[in-house]
């Protein structure tokens, strides 16, 4: 039985490699996402009770769930989601695998706090050209950091940029005149061949782009992530009256439900502004 278990785990390790290649080549996932899947699945396989039955393989998640029980709900949910995706892949590729103790973990739908427009402008005033362009593109196009890293010169026109999002899904996002001017200024100062942001002929890493964002806002004593700039973009559009269906398309959301989280956030901000401004809410006339 031990030999069978070792053989089975060795087989699963090989299947995991194929699954990660599938995520990269077929689903178009970013390097960071693939590394996250790899880490989650590898750690899970160390703890999951794997039972080989006659017609199927049983994954009992209970030992693994006990091990990760002290993590926050969002992290637990993320790890379990990786295992479910892996099992789904196995079942679609000749292995019959059943999950046990696979109850969902409920997590609150929350978003990072959007950054006020005035603080973004303040940060941009002291930024270097390349750093400035990184922040402006995230803020005016609502990009994910992986999408920014993958921006190609051939996908840009005078007024539109084609974005390759999750799962290689394409969407066209309008380009502001002011943003186009910064791009033109950047391209006149930096030589790139294929990608907008490059180093030694290869696209600049996501971590390098994150560092630039952190640096720009650190100089004005703020801690801001690229994802917060994406949220700021979405919130600004919705608060400005943009239809939710258009915002969902611009963000590249696969489900309208994801975009609806922003409407709740926008309503909360409107309530805060109301409380500050209305005379009956304690503000002097």
Give the chain's mean pLDDT: 82
What is the residue extent of each domain of the chain?
Answer: 2-100, 117-276
pLDDT tens column, 230-284:
888 888 887 787 777 888 888 887 665 656 665 554 444 445 555 555 556 554 4
pLDDT tens column, 145-184:
999 999 999 999 989 999 988 878 888 898 999 999 999 9
DSSP state of 156: B
In the residue annotation, 144 being an active-site residue is answered as yes
Active-site option among 15, 144, 203, 231? 144
Dist. CA 43–CA 223, nearest whole Å: 31
Q: Which residue has the tokens 């990660």?
A: 20
Burial 259-275 (b: 16+ CB within 10 A, else e): beebeebbeeeeeeeee
CATH number, span 117-276: 1.10.443.10
Q: Which of 95-104, 136-145, 164-173, 181-190 has the lowest mean pLDDT?
A: 95-104
In the residue annotation, 78 being an active-site residue is answered as no
In the residue annotation, 22 being an active-site residue is answered as no
Active-site option among 84, 166, 180, 215? 166
pTM: 0.58
In the residue annotation, 278 being an active-site residue is answered as no
Active-site option among 15, 132, 203, 230? 230
Dist. CA 163–CA 148, nearest whole Å: 8
């Amino acid at each position: 039985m031990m030999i069978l278990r070792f053989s089975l785990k060795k087989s699963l390790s090989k299947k995991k490699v194929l699954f990660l290649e599938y995520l990269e080549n077929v689903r178009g996932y970013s390097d960071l996402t693939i590394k996250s899947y790899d880490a989650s699945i590898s750690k899970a396989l160390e703890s999951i009770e794997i039972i080989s039955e006659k017609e199927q393989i049983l994954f009992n998640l209970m030992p693994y769930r006990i091990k990760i029980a002290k993590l926050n709900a969002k992290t637990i949910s993320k790890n379990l989601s990786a295992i479910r995706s892996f099992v789904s892949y196995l079942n679609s590729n000749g292995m019959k695998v059943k999950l046990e103790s696979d109850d969902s973990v409920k997590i609150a739908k929350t978003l990072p706090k959007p950054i006020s427009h005035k603080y973004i402008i303040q940060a941009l005033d002291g930024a270097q050209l390349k750093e400035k362009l990184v922040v402006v593109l995230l803020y005016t196009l609502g990009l994910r950091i992986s999408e920014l890293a993958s921006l190609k010169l051939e996908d840009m026109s005078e007024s539109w940029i084609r974005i390759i999002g999750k799962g290689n899904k394409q969407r066209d996002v309008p380009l502001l005149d002011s943003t186009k001017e910064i791009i033109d200024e950047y391209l006149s100062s930096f030589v790139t061949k294929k990608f907008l942001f490059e180093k030694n002929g290869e696209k600049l890493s996501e971590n390098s782009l994150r560092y630039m964002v952190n640096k720009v806002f650190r100089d004005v004593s703020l801690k801001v992530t690229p994802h917060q700039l994406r949220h700021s973009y979405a919130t600004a559009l919705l608060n400005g009256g943009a239809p939710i269906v258009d915002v969902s398309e611009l963000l590249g959301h696969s489900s309208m439900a994801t975009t609806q989280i922003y409407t709740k956030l926008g309503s909360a901000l409107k309530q805060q502004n109301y409380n500050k401004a209305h005379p009956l809410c304690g503000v002097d006339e």
